[in-house]
Amino acid sequence: MVVPQYPYPVVGGLERQAHELALALRALGINVQVLSGRVMPTQPDLEDVEGIPVHRLPWTHRRWARFLRLPVELFAVFYRLRRSYDVVHLHQHSWFGLYAILITRLLGKPNLTKLPNVGVFGVPGLRSGRFGLLKLKILFSADALVAMSNESLRELRSAGFPMQRVLAVPNGVSMQQPDSMVAATVRPSSICKVVFVGRIVEEKRIDLLLEHWASVQQQCPGEAELEVWGGGPLQAMLQSRCVELGLSRSVIWRGHVEDVRSRLRNVDIFVMPSVAEGNSNAILEAMAAGIPIVSTPVGGTPMLVGPHGTQLLFDLNDDSLARILIRLIRDSETRKVVGAKMRARVTDHFNIQHVAQVYASAYELLATRRAGEIHRLGQPVVLGDPAGTL
């Protein structure tokens, strides 16, 4: 696997998903190793992360220097390890991933590249950016691509990529956690707890969430609290905005939160006001915990929540977010019913053990030079077939 910033300490959704998949693949008997950057200066060249060996490259924060050094450093590691791997699985298409595609083709190693997002962060955004046509040509030279949503499939089809070389498979989440990690139907506190989990960056639109939360507090004073789990470059500015809106007592900034999965059991509502998502790992974790999802209908989110969750999807350009939150805050029975539907949907379609089995079959096709057959492994929930959407 090639992941530019593999945990730990990086805990973004892409990195968490890669690690969870690696663990599930190892449970199937597949030998997984990771190539990543050295995120922290103290990390060794070879690190063990929960049994997954991670080979780390020097990682300068000067982008131009990294751009120039990466091809040489990547080639050296790929060549040195060439007898220890059969397939290369790339988890995004930055220059790190694009260089890896070129190098693996040079070495004659089959590669599978995952498209982590859509829109401005997907194929259209890649094509319209600097060196866009070159980047797209390199990306499309991959043996096969992974699409995690119907929207991603449409982007690839529109761009002319051969659909027989597309693996339609969603992200997954472990369902092996005990029942104690599922949201409690009755909690001792009468205050409804709403939570956002993720990086505090522009595309998450936490600024608009705060505006809507002010409306919630006007109509439901003292009935609910909003917790923000995560950090990022906009945190200080948004905390100041929170004070300006008079929300200091009802909004709690937790920063980085360890063991999110177990702490979600004490949450009533999950909210995600993002304008760009692929398959949100945070949403999957909240669904697995049996929590209703209030989100924008971006990327693969409508697919994740399914028909029972679409009633809680909202448009950031109107007041529907505040209205949905107010309704759920005052209706514990609806929260319970929808939360149970979310957990059932994860069990049926997004169990990481099943996702890992699909990838294992895809690796076998790639290793035997049958990339043109990979579309046969496509999952109904991504393809939009009735079996995957009902």
Query: Is residue 127 located within the same domain as residue 185?
Result: no
Per-residue pLDDT, 66: 77
Q: What is the pTM of this model?
A: 0.89
For the chain, give the longest Cα–Cα distance: 64
In a domain, 55, yes or no: yes
Per-residue pLDDT, 181: 54
Query: Is residue 165 located within the same domain as residue 276?
Result: no
DSSP 173: B
Query: Is residue 143 located within the same domain as residue 206?
Result: no
In a domain, 8, yes or no: no
Query: Is residue 151 located within the same domain as residue 189?
Result: no
CA 281 – CA 171 distance, rounded (Å)? 7
**Residue-number span of the structural domain to which 29 is assigned:** 13-172+353-387
Query: Is residue 382 located within the same domain as residue 313?
Result: no
Query: Is residue 156 located within the same domain as residue 247?
Result: no
295 beta partners:
272, 313
CA 74 – CA 94 distance, rounded (Å)? 14
DSSP 184: P
Which amino acid does the sequence have at 215?
Answer: S
Contact by Cβ (8 Å): 230, 256: yes
CA 44 – CA 28 distance, rounded (Å)? 27
Query: Is residue 201 located within the same domain as residue 215?
Result: yes
Provide the H-helix boundaries in the chain.
Answer: 13-27, 63-80, 95-106, 123-128, 132-139, 150-159, 206-219, 235-244, 260-263, 281-288, 301-305, 320-329, 332-349, 352-367, 380-383, 386-389
Query: Is residue 161 located within the same domain as residue 184?
Result: no
Q: What's CA 349's distance to the chain center, in Å?
A: 16
In a domain, 218, yes or no: yes
Q: With a cut of 70, which residues of the chain have pLDDT below it?
A: 8-11, 177-189, 385-390
- Total structural domains within the chain: 2
In a domain, 215, yes or no: yes
In a domain, 225, yes or no: yes
In a domain, 122, yes or no: yes
In a domain, 335, yes or no: yes
Query: Is residue 309 located within the same domain as residue 367?
Result: no
In a domain, 57, yes or no: yes
Query: Is residue 313 located within the same domain as residue 364?
Result: no
Question: pLDDT for 278-330, tens place per residue?
Answer: 889 999 999 999 999 999 999 899 999 999 999 999 998 888 999 999 999 99
Length of the chain in terms of residues written:
390
Query: Is residue 226 located within the same domain as residue 160?
Result: no
Per-residue pLDDT, 317: 85
Per-residue pLDDT, 59: 76
Query: Is residue 43 located within the same domain as residue 94?
Result: yes
For residue 278, what is the domain's CATH number? 3.40.50.2000
